[in-house]
Structure 1
Amino acid sequence: MSAHLERLVEIALRDVLDPEMERSVVDLGLIYAIAATPDGAVAITMTTTTRGCPLAGFLKEAVAFAAGAVAGVTAVTVTLTYEPAWEPAMIAAEEPRPRLSRILRRNKERFSQSPKVFTTG
């Protein structure tokens, strides 16, 4: 179960985007380790692109929130490290995938008829 939970957390973290780079923290190589215990506690070790990154707190909080939303996760600890230092070579090769805007344009009629309403508060 631990390996499965770690994989689910990794998938969830792909939704956490670095606002400056517009790529996921996973694809950028900012996530160094994800470890889950059998009782669902998850420990994540991550970095930022620079030591003094002004978004470090935001990214750490976003990672904790995304991991905590995964079914089966009972606790999340996020540790920020700069060893090893991040470098551009850690960025994963970008996979071709459709951009959300193209998907929405192609399916505009379908989405506009959706009865679901999403709000933020």
Structure 2
Amino acid sequence: MSQTPSELKYASSHEWARLEEDGTVTIGISDHAQEALGDVVFVELPELGDRLAAGDEAGVVESVKAASDIYAPIGGEVIAINDALEDEPETVNSDPYNDGWFFRLQPDDTTELENLLGAEDYAEHCAEE
């Protein structure tokens, strides 16, 4: 059974977003998504300084089974990327909500988070797929 932390917001495309105390937003993929993908072998992340709008393609995650695009759940400027995933992409499988984060944005508008799903609604969305 997938974990769905209640403090996060979720996109229907399976990215999660966490508003940090400093106003930035950390983004990764959900436990449900990493389970569906299987063993992650490669992660392509956006570049520092990239400007993304909500729904923009932000990278790719590849597993032994498939490749899947990563989308920005909200808009903003990429201010950090998780370089550790270059050498250890399997971290996405073992710890998708902490060490397996993908990138961090300085959001254009944090109210965009309100357009995302809460944990309960996201869990229902996953059950319907």
Q: With structure 1 as the length reference, what TM-score do the two structures score?
A: 0.30
Which is richer in helix? 1
Higher relative contact order (CA closer than 8 Å, sequence separation 6+): 2
Q: TM-score, normalised by structure 2?
A: 0.29
> Of the two, which has the highest radius of gyration?
1
Higher normalized strand content (fraction of residues): 2
